[in-house]
Amino acid sequence: MRDVHVTWGFVAVVANALAGLYALAAWRWPRLRGRPVWAAIGVAFGAIMVQVVFGVWLVAVDDFEPPEIHMFYGFLVYVTVGVLYSYNHLFRARGWMELAYGLGGLFMMGLGIRAIFQV
C-alpha cells in the first residue's frame, strides 16, 4: 500500500498542476470555460481525496508512522478542497471561480510536492 500511496502522490500532484493551469487559463481566456475545466478540476480533486484515503489507510491499518509534517500537509490539502467548495457562492458572484480553483489546484500541487519530499 505504501508504494501505491507514493505513486498516486505523483499522479495527484500532476493532475492538480494541470487542472490548476487549465483553470487559470480559463479565467484569463473565457472561451476555455465550461464543462471541460470543471471535469479536470473534479478529476484532480478526486485524485487528492483518493490520496488522502490511501494515507489514512497506511496509518490506521498498516501502522505506518510518517513524519507529522507529512500528515499535516495531507490534512491541509483535504481542508483546502472544503474551503474552496464552501466559498463557491462568493467566487461565482465575483467571477472568480476559475481563478480560485486554479490557484487552489496549484496550492495543492505545492503541498503535494512538499509532502512527497518529507517521507
Say what the pLDDT of residue 105 is.
97
The answer to whether 108 and 52 have CB atoms below 8 angstroms apart is: no
Distance of CA 76 to CAs 70, 71, 81, Å?
10, 9, 9
- With a CB cutoff of 8 Å and minimum separation 6, the contacts of 91 are 97, 99, 100, 101
Say what the pLDDT of residue 48 is.
94
Residue with cell 500532476: 14
Average pLDDT, integer, range 81-100: 94
Q: What percent of the chain has pLDDT over 70?
A: 100
2 — pLDDT class (breaks 50, 70, 90): confident
pLDDT tens-digit series, residues 22-77:
999 999 999 999 999 999 999 999 999 999 999 999 999 999 999 999 999 999 99
Check residue 29 and report its DSSP letter.
S
pLDDT score of 118 more than 90: no
Say what the pLDDT of residue 119 is.
76
